[in-house]
Amino acid sequence: MINLLEQPEANAAHGLSAAARAVAGLHALAAGLGESLRCLAVRGLDDDGLLQVTTAVEVLGRRVDALRVAAAAEVADRSRPELGTGQLSAKRGCRTAGELLERLTLVSGPTAGRRMRLGTQLRTGRSLGWRTAAAHLPRHGHRPGRRSDRRRHGRRDPHRVDADAAVHRPGLGAGSRERAGRLGHRHHF
């Protein structure tokens, strides 16, 4: 059986590897968090204390979520199909990066997929000339510095129109053209 969690090799000249130091630090952080505040302890906090702890936990959770997404994106990048047998997922006996993340972290397939997609979209890196590469953000119809689709082509993307209507005018989602007309709101379908 292939070990998904092979221990990072220590560099004899520098002691522990960067990965081993990071893992040790994260384990220490998790242990310290468990010691500093137990889940049942929040019941005994006063109102202000509860709100302060809630805010602090959210800050910590967001940092953890950012690291989850970044790590998933790196696993996906190292498991690209064009790498062939050099794929990280293949080296660990998995068909895809998603399968590797599922087995390694015990999250669902959709959760692993969301983390990889988001991380890949936000990922920045280095180009061949070692210049910082832009994040791989999805392309939209409206780009900064350009005219909107409506101005360029006299129409808007119908998917964006429905989304805009649903957000800005409750009850004006897809299929509500009659109400849109009554309110004087023009949609270009």
129-171 per-position pLDDT tens digit: 445 555 554 444 444 444 444 454 455 544 444 444 444 444 4
Say what the pTM is: 0.58
Query: What does the alpha-carbon distance between residue 97 and residue 31 come to, in Å, rounded to a whole number?
Result: 29
DSSP 139: P
Q: What percent of the chain has pLDDT over 70?
A: 57
Query: What dihedral do alpha carbons 48, 51, 53, 55 form, nearest 10°?
Result: -140
Task: Compute CA 181 distance to the chain's CA centroid, rounded to the nearest angstrom.
Answer: 39
Q: What is the mean pLDDT of residues 15-23?
A: 86
Q: Is the pLDDT of residue 51 over 90?
A: yes
pLDDT of res. 16: 75
